[in-house]
Amino acid sequence: MLFDILQKIIVLTVGIFLLLGVIIIILRYKNVNPSERKEIFKKAGYFNAWIILLCFVVSMVYGVFSHIENKKNAYAVVALNYSEASNALNSNGTRYNMFEIISDEVVEMAINKGALKNVTVKQLKNCLSVHPCVQGGVGDESQYHISTEFAVEYHASKYTDHLDAENVIMLITSAYKDYYIENYTDNFSLSGEKPDFSQMEYMDVVLYLDKEATSVLNYLYGMAAKNPSFVTENGNTFNSIAGKVYQFKETQINQNLRSLILQNGVVRNEKDYVDRLLYRNKDVDFDRQKNDVSYKLCNDAIDMYSEEMTRIVLVPTWDESGKYYMGRTKVGIDELSVMATTFSDYVASNEKEIMDNKLIINKINSNERDNPIYTSTDELIESIYEDVKEFEKESITAGREYFRHKMNQCIAVSFYGTSIFNIIKTILVFAVFAYVSFMIYRISKKFPKKA
């Protein structure tokens, strides 16, 4: 702010010299005849050493102040390079909003990312602006234009004078990329707060952990389908991480933990869980009875077919090339046989589940509550939960690396600061202005006050 004021004072001072010179010449213009005027301008001494020195000093001071002031401003262009952008959409099909580039969330992320001190979100946001690089008209359809490039400008205020302008604009655009990835890409998020396992039945914990691991696997398989060859900074692919998660799920959750609980009858509340299993057995037994009746019904229907109805039936048929042949077709007994086999498998599955539940009930009834196996089970649950969380974090990190790599191509950012050529150009323009001002003032002094 101070340098901006000093810069304006210098320009104003030089401008006053120019204005005074012009006014003096106008007021004294009639005091000399045309030949004298011509002589004054001819002998003005346009290459006066003192004026040149004064212009040089003033221009250098102005240039220093201008450079310091320009360092407080920075510009960037955010270009959207994905197909949906031409329809003013985000990559996931939602409506694009350019003001999200300088939203409170993005500014706060930039402050945290750059560890910027002594500045609030509101103070920094007030220094930022965004607008389309190409603005379409509204007069007729030919003037319509959907911009895919947006200019982001930063102009420091008294509250942000201590910040580096180029660093700020780089932090804002980097934070916007992270914000875009989190909100508009197919991202995976961590599950909610850790449940209280002490209030859950052990087998319910197994189901919970299995579900969490499965959700991680589904995310990784989906990402592998997008880009199976993508390699993270740690040298992993989505398939390699998925392989580790699958192996862990099958070994630690479905084998070690599940087997430990079932084989030892480990439960939180013996009576409640036994009642659950007994109710489940009744429900499954009802399904078993229905499937058994359906199985017997299919067999009875098969027995009703006569021998002549069970032979192979050939029908005239044409293949895709139009050639004629006799093709075998199914008859009713074939369908009934398939259905009978299916219902038989259902019955076997129902009976197995009932027997497994009865075995678990026997294990529970024979188990002692002070058995140290409970401590081992709780420790194993905590260990598995922490490992699942680590797999979630690894998957999220890999996903974000992929989307960051993808967004670097889909969202391009160009930075524009103050170049040395612009500074030199500014100094030269001001030097010419100062030289003209001082020369006009010096020439005005040669005009006599009176004729």
DSSP 365-408: HH--TT-THHHHHHHHHHHHHHHHHHHHHHHHHHHHHHHHHHHH
Helices (H), 193-312: 202-226, 238-248, 258-264, 270-304
Give strand ranges (E) for 97-137: 128-132
Residue 3 is predicted with a pLDDT of 61
Residue 128 is predicted with a pLDDT of 92
pTM beyond 0.75: no
Tokens of 202: 């052990």
Q: Shortest CA distance to 237 belongs to which of 221, 215, 256, 218?
A: 221
Residue 445 is predicted with a pLDDT of 79
- Cα separation, 129 vs 99, in Å, equals 9
- Cα separation, 339 vs 345, in Å, equals 10
- Cα separation, 89 vs 131, in Å, equals 17
- Give, to the nearest 10 degrees, the angle between helix 238-248 and helix 202-226: 160
- Cα separation, 378 vs 366, in Å, equals 20
Q: In what order do the strands lie in the sheet with 73-80?
A: 128-132, 149-155, 73-80, 411-416
Is residue 105 within 8 Å of residue 182, measured between CB atoms?
no
Tokens of 47: 């290459």
Q: Shortest CA distance to 287 belongs to which of 342, 338, 336, 347?
A: 347
Give strand ranges (E) for 125-210: 128-132, 149-155
Is residue 346 within 8 Å of residue 291, measured between CB atoms?
yes
DSSP state of 243: H
Walking along the chain (451 residues) 10 residues at a time, the average pLDDT comes out as 71 85 80 74 76 84 74 85 83 86 93 90 92 70 74 88 87 90 72 83 91 92 88 90 94 91 86 90 94 93 71 67 67 77 94 90 79 87 93 89 78 75 81 86 77 58
- Cα separation, 113 vs 179, in Å, equals 12
Radius of gyration of the chain (CA): 42
Q: Shortest CA distance to 176 belongs to which of 5, 398, 408?
A: 408
Domain range annotation of the chain: 2-69+418-444, 72-184, 200-406
Q: Shortest CA distance to 423 belongs to which of 58, 70, 2, 120?
A: 70
Measuring CA to CA, how many Å separate 239 from each of 165, 223, 386, 395? 42, 9, 21, 11
Residue 309 is predicted with a pLDDT of 59
- Cα separation, 149 vs 376, in Å, equals 59
- Cα separation, 313 vs 300, in Å, equals 22
Residues β-bridged to residue 120: none
Residue 243 is predicted with a pLDDT of 94
Residue 307 is predicted with a pLDDT of 65
Length of the chain (residues): 451
Residue 144 is predicted with a pLDDT of 63
Is residue 410 within 8 Å of residue 82, measured between CB atoms?
yes
- How many C-beta neighbours within 10 Å does residue 163 have? 22
- How many C-beta neighbours within 10 Å does residue 110 have? 27
CATH no. of 72-184: 3.30.300
Residue 262 is predicted with a pLDDT of 85
Beta strand 324-329 with 128-132 is unpaired
State how far Cα 207 lies from the chain centre.
31
- Cα separation, 436 vs 360, in Å, equals 102
